[in-house]
Amino acid sequence: MSRGDFLGEFEQIVLLAVARLDATAYGMEIRREIETRSGRAVTIGAVYATLDRLERKGLVQSRDDRSGGRARRFFTMTPSAADALEASRAIHARMWHGLRLRREGRRS
């Protein structure tokens, strides 16, 4: 959390996908991971844009690899990303602590 701001929801999801895929995280694979786990359609453009932002924030590192016959960009999490994710989880946990949402009559 170098800049002290919160991780956005999609940023968290992308980071988690990078973490899950470990060494094999490249754009399309990340997209697929999110799509299969979340059940929501995600475009590659959104993934790349988010990865860029995360890289600027120093949360992921990319490395270019041409071994597979074409250019691929693999992503790994930086240590500060783990901190940021943990912090996000902690914030969530604290915000939820002791809270029960009433589903009816919210507006009344």
Partner 1 sequence: MPGRPGILRALLARVLGPGVVGRSLLGDLDEEFADRAAADPRAARRWYRREAAGVMWRARRIRTGDAGRSWRTHQPKGKGDPMLQVLWNDVKGAVRTLRKEPRFTIVASITLALGVGAVVSIFSVVNGVLLKPLPHPNPDRLVNVWSNATGLGYNQFPLSPDLYYFYARHQQVFDELAMFQRGRVNLTDTGTPEVIASVATTANYFPTLGVRMVMGRGYRDEEDRPDAPRVAVVSHRFWTNRLAGDSAVLGRQIRLDGQPTEIIGVAPAWLDEDDSAEVFVPTRIDPDQPPAGSFGWNAVGRLRDGVSAGEAAAGLVPLVDRFKEEVAVSGNYRAFLTKGEYRPVVNLLKEDVVGSVREPLWILLGTVGMVLLIACANVANLFLVRADGRQRELAVRSALGASRSSLVRRVLTEALVLASLGTTLGVAVSAAALPALLRLAPGIIPRLDQVSIDVAVVFVAVVAAVLSAMVFGLAPALRYTNASALGALRHGGRGGTDDPARRRGRNLLVVGQTALALILLVGSGLLVRSFANLMATELGFEPDRVLTFRVALPDAAYPESADILGFDERLRTALAAVPGVASVSAVTVLPLAAGAPGTAHEFEGQPIAAGQLPPMVHFKTVAPAYFETMGIALLQGRDFHAGDTRDGVRHVIVNRALADLYWPGENPLGRRVRLGASGAPQPMPWSTVVGLVGTERQDGLRLPPRPLIYYGFNETANNGTPRQLSYVAKGLGPSVSGEGVRQAVWSVDASMPITSMQTMDEIVDGSVVQFTFTMLTLGIAAGLALALGAIGLYGVLSYTVALRTREIGVRLALGAQPSRVMRSVVLSGAAITAVGLAIGLAGAFGLTRFLTGILYETEPLDPATFAGMTLALFVVALVASLLPARRAAAVSPLESMRTE
Task: Give the interface with partner 1 as residue ranges (CB under 8 A).
Answer: 26-28, 31-32, 43-46, 48-49, 52-53, 55, 64, 70-73
* Beta pairing class for 72-77 and 60-65: antiparallel
- Looking at the Cβ atoms of 25 and 85, the one nearer to partner 1 is 25
Closest CA to 75 of 91, 93, 53: 53
- Looking at the Cβ atoms of 75 and 88, the one nearer to partner 1 is 75
- Looking at the Cβ atoms of 14 and 26, the one nearer to partner 1 is 26
Q: How far apart are CA 2 and CA 6, in angstroms?
A: 10
Least distance to partner 1 from the beta carbon of 80, Å?
Answer: 19
